[in-house]
Amino acid sequence: MTIGRRTVLRGLALPLAWTVGMGAARAFWRREVDVLVVGAGGAGLAAAVAAAEEGASVLVLEKEEAIGGNTLRASGLFNAADPERQGPMGVEDSVAWHAEQTLESGGGRNDPDVVRRFAEEALPTIHWLEGMGIRFLPETQTT
Ligand SMILES: Cc1cc2nc3c(=O)[nH]c(=O)nc-3n(C[C@H](O)[C@H](O)[C@H](O)COP(=O)(O)OP(=O)(O)OC[C@H]3O[C@@H](n4cnc5c(N)ncnc54)[C@H](O)[C@@H]3O)c2cc1C
């Protein structure tokens, strides 16, 4: 997955300034980055890594004390049509079917173009994650 440095959450011009409470002192923070990511869950961290891979300077802001968000709670299942793994298991799958099932489970309310891209990018994303050392168990679900 490649995300152009100017296409993802284009770095916001800093300084950021905010006021804490009524009449409280203002805090000013002067820092400039190419990409500012808000939220250190799976999506935000993936965006941050992808942007950094493209050479962007990246800052990730997380409101909680620990990073991970709901991604940390996830069971770890990653839907993708993967002939290399599913083939030997006798599982027939395809990007088109993955997209079709995703549209169906969304009750037809999903954006078809986004869903198609989502399904197309699923396997490359697994490979990208594995390239960084993440290991998935070989289990397969066919539903
Ligand atoms: C129990 C459980 C099991 C699941 N199992 C699976 C699974 O097996 N497979 C699967 O594909 N999906 C699964 N999911 C769904 C999956 O976890 C989510 O779809 C995914 O984690 C969403 O990622 P995200 O990065 O968009 O959001 P999150 O991981 O929730 O990250 C969002 C982050 O943004 C931070 N944030 C929010 N607002 C701000 C703010 N204003 N400023 C700074 N930070 C902010 C949050 O604190 C959080 O850290 C599961 C979900 C749950 C709850």
Quote the ligand 1 centre to 66 CA distance (angstroms): 13
DSSP one-letter code for 120: H
Task: Give whole-number Cα distances, 135 to 46, 56, 77, 138, in Å.
Answer: 16, 26, 12, 9
The model carries a pTM of 0.81
Is the CB of 59 within 6 Å of ligand 1? Answer: no
Taking the CA of residue 68 as reference, the ligand 1 atom at the shortest distance is 49
Closest ligand 1 atom number to CA of residue 79: 11
Q: pLDDT 10s digit of each residue in the chain, 143 long?
A: 444 444 333 433 333 334 445 555 677 888 899 999 999 999 999 999 999 999 999 999 999 999 999 999 998 899 999 999 999 989 999 999 999 999 999 998 999 999 999 999 999 999 999 999 999 887 765 55
